[in-house]
Structure 1
Amino acid sequence: MRRIPFVLLLVLFTLPGCHRSAPVGGSSTANSQKSFPVRGKILATDPTHVLLDHEAVPGFMDAMTMSYKLKDPSVVNELHPGDRITATILVDQDAAGFRNPQLDHIVIIGQAKPDYLPRVQYHVPQAGDDVPNFELLNQSDRLIHLSQFKGRVLLATFIYTRCQLADFCPRMSTNFAEIDKALAADPALYAKTHLLSISFDPAYDTPTVLKKYGEAYTGRFAKETFSHWDFAAPPAEKLPAMTQFFDVGVTPGDSKSLTHSLSTVLIGKDGKVVAWYPTNDWKPADVVAAVRAAAAS
């Protein structure tokens, strides 16, 4: 991994002639701002920046050590060298490329030292892990349990219906809609599979809200039976256990929004984890192939 000095990186992103080329991905807003999800480890902080050793960011840059300005500098006291985080990179875009990278929506998924360890530790799903029999209330106001899907391949993701970041919940739901249609084209495979969108906002995402949200994404609206794709939320008191098991960091944001990480998991017919997708860079076609392989095993 190539490393660039902290101060030099600040200069590179402020010089008028130093810009990256136009991206192939990311989400746009009316003011030409784009957002990219990132995962990495904090190496250093100052009052307004963090030095982040991060994984590849599709459409933005390769894995690299990079200095980022904090959109909200007040969070710096909660960040420490060695912390693992997920976050959103916000950049302005013009004809020359990207400008003014900022880090926002930071979620700490692993802290570095015992003296500031969180009260809870998140589990990172691994292939072969037994999935607990979590309970949820679905869009039809019925209690469902993950164990009822044993014998079928279950693909689950985490969302909340008020999410405004196009590359987060809306992208996950759009991907699932594409997967649902692809699986429906093979009736035998369709019968062996199920989709589940799990909300981590049970106070707002009631069965009525989830029903309308689900009908819009399946495109069947009032004709939707939800026989293959459930939209559900765990009871509030059971939500922490579920988000911790699936490594979903959720913290309150502004205007009743939630800052959160991503988590999509493929669960086999035996109720064990087959694959885990902690970012948004997976392709529906690749996941359909993984679902097909799991159903055939």
Structure 2
Amino acid sequence: VPTTYQVRGVVKDLHPETKNAIIDHEEVPGYMEAMTMPLRVRDSALLQGLKKGDRISFRLNVTEKVDWIDEIKVLESGVPLKLAGKEEELPDLRPIAPGQLIPDATLLDVKGDELKIASYRGQATAITFIYTRCPLPTFCPRLNSHFEATAELLKKDTDGPRNWKLLSITIDPARDTPEALAEFSKAIGADPAHWSFATGSLQDITAFTLKCGLRFWDDRGLIQHNLRTLVVNPDGTVRKVLEESEWTPEELAAELRAAAIDRKN
């Protein structure tokens, strides 16, 4: 009888002709550390439909003489393993629209602790995407200043709701570590009671941003990206999508205020 382990990992390569998949897997407690290695299936049909970059779960079976995997399930389909070199390399996904539920994602806050998008349920939330090295004043710096102004407007509204949050997610996780984001948020005067910053793995961030309609890629060392800010109702549905950076803090504050006091939420 084999010893079995439930494991998660990312498909790096597929070799159905030899019944192997190269998988970057997490630590298997009590058995082996996290590593990238070939894992064998008994039936090559189990590899059909898998793609490089798929995040999967699987069962690892081990006896004294052999090992193999089965019960393979795709958790996240084909997101990039590295920053795309051009926009055309990104998957063409239909982004979520107003009325649809915001997808969950597991990120890291400025303390390095786990932060889930689902944890914002009950709050009217604005989510935007930035990176701290962004040099163009009408891109990330404007989004940062708009969020700061929005927070001030809502805090000054003493009779207004208090169940609102702002969340800025970096699209440069290699440089924007939790420590770097902590320093950045302090430098720009972000109030942590209402405004949070998040990073995470490139894979998790890319998967979430694509679903939100945000696309980013590496252009000779400079991250190119569109701009997209989502207003999310307390029930987790998208209330409004603000394109680019032409919206005003007054507009965002009004949307958050309305979302926070909307009794339907």
- Using structure 1 for the length normalisation, give the TM-score: 0.56
Q: Would you say 1:272 and 2:227 are equivalent positions?
A: no
Q: CA deviation at 1:172?
A: 0.2
Q: How does 1:77-226 map to 2 (within 5 A)?
A: 108=87, 120-187=91-158, 189=160, 191-218=162-189, 226=192
Which of 202, 206, 210 matches 1:236? 202
What is the distance in 1 between the residues matched to 2:169 and 2:158? Answer: 25
User: How big is the shift at 1:149?
Assistant: 0.9
1:213-240 deviation per Cα after TM superposition (whole angstroms, max 9, x unaligned): 1112226xxxx5x121111113222122
Asked if 1:283 is matched to 2:215, the reply is no
Identical-pair percentage = 29
Q: Retained in 1: the 8 A contact 2:107–2:205? A: no
Q: 1:215 to 1:187 in 2, by over 3 A?
A: farther
Counterpart CA distance in 1 for 2:181 and 2:91 is 28
Larger radius of gyration: 2
In the superposition, relative to structure 1, how do residues 234 and 278 fare at CA in structure 2: closer, same or farther (>3 Å)? farther
Distance 1:188 1:136 in 2: 33
Q: Deviations over 1:37-60 (max 9, x none)?
A: xxxxxxxxxxxxxxxxxxxxxxxx
Instruction: Give the secondary-structure state (helix, strand or coil) at the position aligned to 2:188.
Output: helix
- Indicate if the aligned counterparts of 2:104 and 2:117 stay in contact, CA closer than 8 A: yes
Distance 1:238 1:133 in 2: 10
- The one-letter amino acid paired with 1:178 is A
Mapped contact 1:189–1:295 kept (Cα < 8 A) = no
Deviations 1:108-141 (A, max 9, x none): 5xxxxxxxx8661233331111111111111122
What amino acid maps onto 1:267 in structure 2?
Answer: V
The question of whether the paired residues in 2 share the 8 Å contact of 1:138 and 1:207 is answered with yes
Q: How many pairs are equivalent?
A: 178
Deviation at 1:186, TM superposition (A): 2.8
TM-score (norm 2): 0.63
Tell me, what secondary structure is at the counterpart of 1:264?
A: strand
Corresponding residue SS for 1:203:
coil
Instruction: Supply the distance in 1 between the matched residues of 2:184 and 2:160 (Cα, whole angstroms).
Output: 25
Q: By how many angstroms is 1:286 displaced?
A: 1.0
Show the counterpart of 2:19. Answer: none
CA contact (8 A) 2:102 2:237 kept: yes
Residues 231 and 188 (structure 1 numbering): CA distance in 2 closer, same or farther, change over 3 Å? farther
Q: Which amino acid aligns with 1:122?
A: L
Classify 1:293/1:162 alpha carbon distance in 2 versus 1 (closer, same or farther; 3 Å). same
What's the offset of the Cα at 1:207?
Answer: 0.8
Indicate yes or no: 2:252 matched with 1:252: no
What SS does the aligned partner of 1:237 have? helix
Report the alpha carbon displacement of residue 166 of structure 1 after superposing the two structures with TM.
0.6
Q: Which runs of 5+ in 2 are unaligned?
A: 1-85
Question: What SS is found at the alignment partner of 2:174?
Answer: coil
Runs of 4+ in 1 over 3 A off after TM superposition: 187-190
SS at match of 1:191: coil
Root-mean-square deviation (CA, aligned residues, Å) is 2.0
Structure 1: which 5+ runs fail to align? Answer: 1-106, 109-116
Q: Superposition pairs for residues 4-83 of structure 1, below 5 Å?
A: none
